[in-house]
Amino acid sequence: MTTNSPGFDPFWIFRAPLSGNVDVAQRITAPWFSPSLTVNYAGDAAIEDRVVTEVASYGKQLGWLTEIAIALAKKQAVPEETLRRLEQACAQIEAIKNRAHPSAVEAANNALDRLERDDRTQYDRLLQERQGKTQS
């Protein structure tokens, strides 16, 4: 029997749908083939994630720092373009941090608004307790 002739195929059970004479290309990204990577950030994971996705990867940041450090070690001029990129990244990272961490007053107001919306009784009780503390 030739490979192109129809007939009994003892390996039919191992064939997936559309795997016969049809050319099928499929990217397989199942977690058992490529497990997801979990990184334990030293700081705030949400901020770190935004930095590496919106500003620059750790590799890029490290590359800029390395290029500057090598230039300084060799007593050469710091590459202006690299320094500019690092300064821009620094400003963007600072902006992300400022947006992610509201002031204590903003956080308190947000919490009170949520409590008022979700549990009006507890909200009223809390306000009465707080007012009692300020009057004593």
**Is 121 a domain residue?**
yes
Domain-embedded: residue 92:
yes
The answer on pLDDT for 12 being more than 70 is: no
- Residue 100 within any structural domain of the chain: yes
Output b/e per residue, 29-59; b: 16+ Cβ within 10 A. Answer: eeeeeeeeeeeeeeeeeebbebbbeebbeee
Q: Which residue is associated with the tokens 């956080």?
A: 107
Does some domain include residue 5?
A: no
Q: Is residue 17 part of a domain?
A: no
Among 1-15, 70-84, 109-123, the range of highest mean pLDDT = 70-84
Range of the domain at 79: 45-135
Average pLDDT of the residues of the chain:
80
Q: pLDDT at residue 14 above 90?
A: no
Mean pLDDT to the nearest integer, 122-133: 90
The per-residue pLDDT for range 17-72, each reduced to its tens digit, is 555 554 555 555 555 555 555 555 567 788 888 899 999 999 999 999 999 999 99
126 within domain boundaries:
yes
Number of folded domains that form the chain? 1
Cα-Cα-Cα-Cα dihedral of 73, 74, 76, 79, to 10°? -60
